[in-house]
Amino acid sequence: EPEVTQTPSHQVTQMGQEVILRCVPISNHLYFYWYRQILGQKVEFLVSFYNNEISEKSEIFDDQFSVERPDGSNFTLKIRSTKLEDSAMYFCASSPIGGSYEQYFGPGTRLTVT
Amino acid sequence: GQQVMQIPQYQHVQEGEDFTTYCNSSTTLSNIQWYKQRPGGHPVFLIQLVKSGEVKKQKRLTFQFGEAKKNSSLHITATQTTDVGTYFCARAAGNKLTFGGGTRVLVKP
């Protein structure tokens, strides 16, 4: 069964550094998402992406964040200057269509900012 | 904002017993989805409810959408150790999911 994959599984970085989290969505899916989950808390929406542009973003997704689909398979989340409070699990998800269709989540990247 | 609230936050269940977790919204929902996240894992889609009063079953799991479409419940019968995890309800609107806080289920053998 096709799966969403994410790399790396764990990223440790120093405050102020840039990080890029990578995702390979399911191949025939058209909508891509990033969510984050601070340890022990709920899953929070960051951004959705369709047709090579952002379709929706949350208030968390400020100017420090950007997303890109650099080729036909990868979908990346960049955090320009990491803060301690960016430490969280970041999940990529994809769906074949948007709206209320179910989303398929990747295994996540645990980001630790020191 | 249009949040969804879940209760209880934690559920300690004896193996073999039943339990129910609830999801509530102050506004009418067009749909509600349920996801399960195993410890250390990622959310996995379980089901979507869209119709008022809808009831769907998956083996020992029964999902219900309220008549007013402001609440939903997940009932698990004869709990097993494989049911351990956090169960989230989520509202799908636009191109995003808004998750509830989750019910973390711990099973005592």
Searching chain A, which residue's CA lies closest to the CA of residue B46? Answer: A102
Q: What is the mean pLDDT of residues B36-61?
A: 97
Contact residues, B window 39-58, toward A, CB-based 8 Å cutoff: 41-45, 48, 50
User: What's the confidence (pLDDT) of residue B36?
Assistant: 98
User: What's the confidence (pLDDT) of residue A78?
Assistant: 98
User: What's the confidence (pLDDT) of residue A49?
Assistant: 96
Q: What is the mean pLDDT of residues A76-97?
A: 97
Q: How confident is the model at residue B95 (pLDDT cuts 50, 70, 90)?
A: confident
- pLDDT tens by residue, A3-24: 999 999 999 999 999 999 999 9
- For the cut 90, the answer to whether the pLDDT of residue B1 exceeds it is no
Q: How far apart are CA A107 and CA B7, in angstroms?
A: 26
Q: What is the mean pLDDT of residues A23-51?
A: 95
CB contact under 8 A, B42 and A108: yes
Q: Which residue has the tokens 């989750």?
A: B102
Q: How far apart are CA B7 and CA B61, in angstroms?
A: 17
Q: How far apart are CA B82 and CA B74, in angstroms?
A: 16
Q: How far apart are CA B4 and CA B69, in angstroms?
A: 12
Average model confidence (pLDDT) for chain A?
95
User: What's the confidence (pLDDT) of residue B109?
Assistant: 87
- For the cut 90, the answer to whether the pLDDT of residue A100 exceeds it is no
Nearest residue to B35 via CA among B12, B4, B13, B14 = B4
Nearest residue to A109 via CA among A93, A82, A91 = A91
Structure tokens at A20: 């890029």
Q: How far is B98 from chain A (nearest CA, A)?
A: 7
Report chain A's terminal Cα–Cα distance, integer Å.
Answer: 37
Searching chain A, which residue's CA lies closest to the CA of residue B102? Answer: A42
User: Which residues of A have a CB under 8 Å from any CB of B?
Assistant: 31, 33, 35, 41-45, 48, 50, 55-56, 58, 91, 98-108
Q: Is A106 helix (H, G, I), strand (E, B) or coil?
A: coil
- For the cut 80, the answer to whether the pLDDT of residue A88 exceeds it is yes
% of chain A beyond a pLDDT of 90: 89
B85 touches chain A (CB under 8 A): no
Q: What is the mean pLDDT of residues B23-30?
A: 94
Q: List, in sequence order, every residue forming a beta bridge with A47; answer none if it has no partner.
A: A34, A57
Average model confidence (pLDDT) for chain B?
95
CB contact under 8 A, A100 and B50: yes
User: What's the confidence (pLDDT) of residue B12?
Assistant: 96
